[in-house]
Amino acid sequence: MERILVLVRHGQSEWNKNNLFTGLRDPELTPQGIEEGRAAGHVLKAQGLSFDRAFTSNLIRAQDTLKLILGELGTPGIPTITDAALNERDYGDLSGLNKDDARQKWGEEQVLIWRRSYAVAPPGGESLQDTVARVLTYYCQTLLPCVLRGERVIVVAHGNSLRSLVMALDQLTPETVPTVELATGIPIIYRLKTDSTVESKEILAP
């Protein structure tokens, strides 16, 4: 029995392009982001992969990327669940600000702490630790049971929500996980053992 979990960060959004803190704001994909979604579907199809179930966030950039992937695979109608548990980290007062402007306002060191520390949250927002807590609860209760019963699962979400899943799958620590970078539109294929640990991991570069 295959136990396959594929993670894909959404394609480039308009706010990614403009170097803005996005968080729970809901910009659409850029033309490049649309092509990244299609390319992700293409490389998955080349691997002979298809899916039984899909999961995504409540945000349009992730939902649209998923639709592009499933369209390329020729399976647009598979069961799909959207859930706020997979939303991007809430950047609070930083949301919508240019990252360079934020550095000028609060200082480079403070903004780096908000972006890359594990436990420190920006004003009015979530820390990475907060994001990990909600995402891993959802993983254990919803995603993992599907994978372990043999369903091929794809999750299209965001840099920080997927970083939380990678933390669990790769057994990373609070010290190492903030340095993990996930490129937009690049599928990561995990194959799990019966005990839910990772048998193999493959990153599908375009």
Please state, in angstroms and rounded to a whole number, the distance separating the CA atoms of residues 96 and 137.
28
| R_g over Cα of the chain | 17
Q: Give the active site residue among 88, 126, 151, 158.
A: 88
Helix (H, G, I), strand (E, B) or coil at 205: coil
Query: Residue 81 is inside which H or E element, if any?
Result: strand 80-82
* 74: alpha, beta or left? (left if phi > 0; alpha if psi -120 to 50): left
Please state, in angstroms and rounded to a whole number, the distance separating the CA atoms of residues 104 and 45.
45
Bridge pairing between strands 153-157 and 198-203: unpaired
In this structure, what token pair is assigned to residue 159? 């840099």
Give just the sign of the alpha carbon dihedral 11, 89, 145, 5.
Answer: positive
Q: Give the active site residue among 10, 36, 72, 151.
A: 10
The yes-or-no answer on residue 158 being catalytic is: no
The yes-or-no answer on residue 88 being catalytic is: yes
- Tell me which residues are annotated as active site: 10, 88
